[in-house]
Amino acid sequence: MSKVGKTISTNSKKHKLYHLLSSYIISSQGNNPVINPFLKGNIYYRDILCKSRFVFLQHGVTKDDISSWLNLYNRNIFGFVVTTNQEYKSIFDYDYYYKPENVWLTGFPRNDLLYHDEKRYITIMPTWRKSLMKYPDPATGIWRIRNDFKESKYYRFYNSLINDKRLIDAAKKYGYKICWKSHPIIEPYMYMFEKNDDVLFFDDDKTYREIFAESDLLLTDYSSVAFDFAYLRKPIIYTQFDREIFFSGEHSYTEGYYDYDRDGFGEIAYDLESTVDMLIDYMQNDCKIKDKYLARINDTFAFSDRNCSERVYKRLIEADK
């Protein structure tokens, strides 16, 4: 962030002082250290902290039920920013307990900066699995991985996918490059995978914005990055080889209003062979989005312009009057 403008060191005395003096805390993250940098020491500042207005920009569309985490009594969000019509409705359908004035259907500011620069990339971008991790390292914040990670269905599936000869050969034949972008929690453990020389592995310096712009097709599982990609009206494939386990409570949320068969922006594969088949089929057809899924995308987003930042700004100004 220091490349963008002035910053202060996280958890420094200056940070904590400014936090107490702030009228608004605005963040894409809703974890405890964001809204309370004092953590257990907040007992001395509770009366001040409760007066801060927390605006949650989100780091992904709320497509599942995470009300146990983001509800009013746990996070006390002043401005809950949402971007789709279904997402807006879900905040009132589930036990979040917010009033309409606290849920802002403005679109995500970051989507204002999305652009097109396709390079014939087919990008694989899965989310993580909480059940495969132990706990965050207190010193670094990096999640520690389970010893049996390489025996997991997650590892075996994706390791096989990035080394699938049929997929690699098809990409060469049709002029595409298979790419991989890890979830930040999985990234420290990518050394455990067998990295195929024909696959481009994006590093930390490669921004999501660049990946969305340069990719012609996205393959994901349950990640909300599909919404950012869909905002650009590009094709998506979901691979959900562990769907039943994923939504059984082993991850950090449970299945919500979003039904992949009814609402998804692309086909769903449930095993390695069908995943590869779908990817090859799209490459054969120049990665063109199908009318069925384009219609779903158009019906999903409340806005498709570049004015989301302005709408959030106006809500802040109106609330401050």
Per-residue pLDDT of the chain (321 residues; tens, 9 = 90+): 888 899 998 889 999 999 999 999 999 988 888 888 888 777 888 888 878 899 999 988 998 888 988 999 999 999 999 999 999 999 999 999 999 999 999 999 999 999 999 999 999 999 999 899 998 887 777 899 999 999 999 999 999 999 999 999 999 999 999 999 999 999 999 999 999 999 999 988 899 999 999 999 999 999 989 999 999 999 999 999 999 888 876 655 667 888 999 999 999 999 999 999 999 999 999 999 999 999 999 999 999 999 999 999 999 999 988
Does 81 share its domain with 132?
no
**Is 64 part of any domain?**
yes
Query: Could you tell me if 239 and 314 lie in one domain?
Result: no
Co-location of 102 and 174 in the same domain: no
pLDDT recorded at residue 31:
83
In a domain, 227, yes or no: yes
Question: Taking a C-beta distance cutoff of 8 angstroms, is the pair 69, 75 a contact?
Answer: yes
pLDDT at 250: 64
| Predicted local confidence at residue 260, as pLDDT | 93
Structure tokens at 273: 């062979």
In a domain, 192, yes or no: yes
Please indicate, yes or no, whether residues 53 and 92 belong to a single structural domain of this protein.
Answer: yes
How far is residue 314's CA from residue 321's CA, in Å, rounded to a whole number?
11
* Same-domain check for residues 134 and 68: no
Structural domain of residue 126, as residue ranges? 113-300
For tokens 């869909």, name the residue: 230
Please report whether residue 44 resides in a domain. yes
Give the per-residue pLDDT at 199: 98
Note whether residue 1 is domain-resident.
no
- Residue in the structure block whose two tokens are 């039920």: 65
For position 59, what pLDDT does the model report? 86
